[in-house]
Amino acid sequence: MLKSTYIIIIIFFLSFTSYAQNMDGLQQYINQIITGKNALVSVAISGISQNDTVGVQASQRLPMQSVFKFPLAIVMLTEIDKGNFTLDQKIEITKRDLTPEIWSPIRDKYPDGVTLTLREILEYTITLSDNIGCDVMLKLLGGPQKVEQYFAKQGFKNISIKINEKTMQSNWDKQFLNWCTPQEMNNILKIFYVNKNNLLSMSMYDFLWSTMKSTNTGLNQIKGQLPAGTVVAHKTGSSGRNKDTGVTAALNDVGIVSLPNGEYFVISIFVTNSKESKETNERMISDIAKVTWDYFTGINNRN
């Protein structure tokens, strides 16, 4: 009996050691991808197990740019759950709302203003990262601070949302007021996905999940090298490049990746203060997502 117990302990120890080495291997691959790049690259990865965790500078407070539209959507859908709004409620977007010189497919399509349902505004804001749609919702909610306050009450301390897109896009330095750590963004993504009823009703969860799966920005980032048909529910964010310094303050992609066996991993990648080209920044994100995919599917294959 003692001998059998001893054998079990040895097998467990060897399995744990092998597992830890595999996680270390993933981190080493990520380090290889980012080494030598003129950029701060921060990564948080979480799988189903507590041990399925990798962090590279994951506690850094970094500018979110449009990634903050994901927590904004959660708060708006929470208000819909409370009965304060409905998805089919019609919202007027006037010509005064159509801020020039910021990214907005809504403005491009409706230059004189338009009335859209809240459902449509959410879809524009998530799938196409529409900045005017974002600011219209922030106005309906009572300002960016309402989003920050919601997450603070939920126990998320490492996220700051202070300004809207109009303010962010008009002043390079102010974009740093909306920040999050990659680890905290992973925490929000995971509680959204795993503990669905903790944040939203199932109908609102299903709507946001479906919308995030339809995200049409950052196609060369997390999704770039994953197998065709891989389900990725994600949100991107980008500052563009500062014309004076040549620095990209933020190129980010965060999301949930479904695996072939029905499991998943959550990943948040923030590329900050980069002097690399857009293509290099995108490739770092896609390379990191690909080695993470290879790691998780490799474990599945060995099992």
Identify whether 18 is a catalytic site residue.
no
Catalytic site residue from 42, 46, 66, 160: 66
Q: What is the DSSP string of 107-125?
A: HHH-TT-EEEEHHHHHHHH
Torsions phi, psi for 101 (to 5 deg)? 65, 20
Dist. CA 262–CA 127, nearest whole Å: 24
What are the Cα distances from residue 292, in Å, to 37, 59, 298?
19, 19, 10
Alpha-helix residue ranges (DSSP H) falling in the chain? 2-34, 69-82, 105-109, 118-127, 131-141, 144-153, 165-170, 182-194, 196-199, 202-213, 278-302
Catalytic site residue from 148, 165, 184, 276: 165
What tokens were used for 272?
A: 């900050």
What are the Cα distances from residue 275, in Å, to 39, 145, 185?
6, 32, 24
Q: Which residues contact 277 (CB under 8 A, 6 or more apart)?
A: none
Dist. CA 158–CA 139, nearest whole Å: 23
Identify whether 66 is a catalytic site residue.
yes
- What phi-psi label fits residue 8: left (phi over 0), alpha (psi between -120 and 50 degrees) or beta? alpha
Active site residues: 66, 165
